[in-house]
Amino acid sequence: MKPLLVLMLCAPLLAACNTTEPLQPIPGSITYGGQPHMKLTQSPPGARIQHRFTNQWGEDVYETYILQPDRSLKLVNREIVTPF
């Protein structure tokens, strides 16, 4: 009975972990307003590209992109660092 109760309590939590939305570009992102017009021809598909910028609130934003086989960029990670 206890394993069934634990499963019933944990199942919704585990289901919530799988439903993450992809990151959306924000002002300053490389892909904000669409894919860039330049094509990264010298980098191999799967390469990680780092991008750093400051947002409108003065926070440093670090983004990581992965170059897709069609030469488009996919935003995979964003870290925002607030100044102290």
Helix (H, G, I), strand (E, B) or coil at 40: coil
Residue 66, domain member (yes or no):
yes
Domain of 32? 23-81
Residue 3, domain member (yes or no):
no
Walk along the chain (84 residues) and give the pLDDT tens digit of each residue: 677 666 666 666 666 665 568 889 999 999 999 988 887 888 999 999 999 999 999 999 999 999 999 999 999 999 999 877
Residue 59, domain member (yes or no):
yes
CB of 66 closer than 8 Å to CB of 76:
yes
CA 42, 43, 44 angle in degrees (round to 5)? 115
Residue 55, domain member (yes or no):
yes
Residue 27, domain member (yes or no):
yes
Residue 67, domain member (yes or no):
yes
Q: How many structural domains are present in the chain?
A: 1
Residue 4, domain member (yes or no):
no
